[in-house]
Structure 1
Amino acid sequence: MLNIAIDDKDALYRNGMEIFLEEIFLEEQKESVQFNCLTKTNAIQADIIVKSFVAGAEYICQPMLKYRSKPGMIIGIYSGDKSPYHEKLPLCIKNIVFVNRSEPLYTARKQVVQGWKDNIENPELLPCKKCLKCKYRTLTPQQMTIAKYLLRGNDIIDIAHLLGIHVKTVSAHKRLMMSKFNLSSDCDLLHFLNNLEKHSPPIHLFMD
């Protein structure tokens, strides 16, 4: 039996994904499947991980995924027109298969089946624990501070006043953050920072 761990807040999409994957693996692999919510515990041994990605998340470390102890497939679910693939994906998601939420079923099926063959039939040693060799991106200390205030709802004028720096400096840091993580809008930036805060607890990025 294949263990599939899913992290997605959209219950309707999640249910559809479960039906979709069950059909694929019963037909292609003659394997029954068991679904669970993704946790730090089951991420280690899951055969397949399905995880939603907000814009920019494909550039950062994924702590929950880097301790996997067995080869398996990661399916990254994303929205929007921008492809999240890039040359220096973090090692913990190096072999990820990205699927767009609006992807036609036949192309999503093709991607998943090929990804399964690549990751399971030709397993490689997991590189994800070699963090020092990973090219994942981070925020600078100043950007972390500015990010904290942005998440609290402060605008750049407020932040400049609170930090005692010029508003243009705050604006420049904000633009650098958006450029570093390939974000197109303030909405994308806030979603990204909120996701970073929730999924990077060991770093305590935004704690006072």
Structure 2
Amino acid sequence: MLKVIINDDDRLFRQGLFLLLQTLFPDQKVTMRPDVNTATVAGADIIVLTLRSGEALICHPELFHRKHSLIMGLEERAAPDAGAPLPLCLSDILFIHRQESTADVSRKISHRWSLIQGEIPARAREMPRQRLLNCYGCPHRWLSQQQHRIAALLYRGASVDAIARELGVSDKTVCAHKHLIMSKFNLRSNFELLSFLRLLQARLTGACR
């Protein structure tokens, strides 16, 4: 049995990808779940995550206990900061872009799956990966204290002037920190910035994955 998690809001896309996986693995019974949590991740053979802007660069504690599974990241645009280190939990991720053809996606999945099967004996594949048991030194990105304060105020809809007055800094300082936040997480617009801040807020409140 092949246990698959496909975490995506588009029901038709989930079903289409599920049917593709059934085609790629005709000798196995493929089961699908949409939810990502400790229990489902620990037993999943394939994990498909929709990664919004900036999300591939932050910590994903829900993946802490995953086994040597195939993990795929669905993105609307190119992978962030090509060549930059990703968090340990996503270091072996296979990025898939929604505009890719079915044939290209199939080839990428088949190739990565064959590599995974050849890397580690079956017994070892059932063991949690040791390199994920210690997050010390993980290159995931985070906000500094000042960036966190500014991000929180931006999330609440405060203007640059209002943030500068509240924190006792200049407008230029606020703009510089805002630019650093966007650059750090590969965000290209104010819309992407606010969407990313909503994502962080949802994670803090436990409302997101």
Shorter-chain TM-score tier? 0.7 to 0.9
Which residue in 1 is equivalent to 2:45? 47
Which residue in 1 is equivalent to 2:156? 152
Moved over 4 A (4+): none
1:71 aligns with 2:68: yes
**Maintained 8 Å contact 1:62/1:199:** no
Which residue in 1 is equivalent to 2:105? 108
Which letter maps to 1:23? T
Alignment of 1:78-157 (within 5 A): 78-80=75-77, 82-84=78-80, 85-123=82-120, 125-157=129-161
Q: For residues 72 and 47 of structure 2, what CA distance do their matches in structure 1 show?
A: 6
- Give CA deviations for 1:46-77 in whole Å, capped at 9, x if unaligned: 11111010121121111111222x21110100
Deviates further, 44-53 or 112-121: 112-121
SS at match of 1:178: helix
Give the RMSD, CA atoms, in angstroms: 1.8
Which letter maps to 1:10? D
- Give CA deviations for 1:107-140 in whole Å, capped at 9, x if unaligned: 1111111111122331374522221021111111
Which residue in 1 is equivalent to 2:4? 4
- Cα distance change, pair 88–170 in 1 and its aligned pair in 2 (3 A): same
Aligned residues: 197
- In the alignment, structure 2 segments of 5+ residues that lack a partner are none
Shift of 1:200: 4.8
Q: For residues 126 and 6 of structure 1, what CA distance do their matches in structure 2 show?
A: 25
Shift of 1:201: 5.1
Q: For residues 67 and 49 of structure 1, what CA distance do their matches in structure 2 show?
A: 13
- Cα distance change, pair 198–168 in 1 and its aligned pair in 2 (3 A): same
- In the alignment, structure 1 segments of 5+ residues that lack a partner are 203-208
Deviates further, 176-185 or 193-202: 193-202
Shift of 1:96: 0.7
Percent identity between matched residues is 35
Q: For residues 158 and 166 of structure 1, what CA distance do their matches in structure 2 show?
A: 10
SS at match of 1:127: helix
TM-score when normalising by structure 2: 0.86
Q: For residues 84 and 166 of structure 2, what CA distance do their matches in structure 1 show?
A: 38
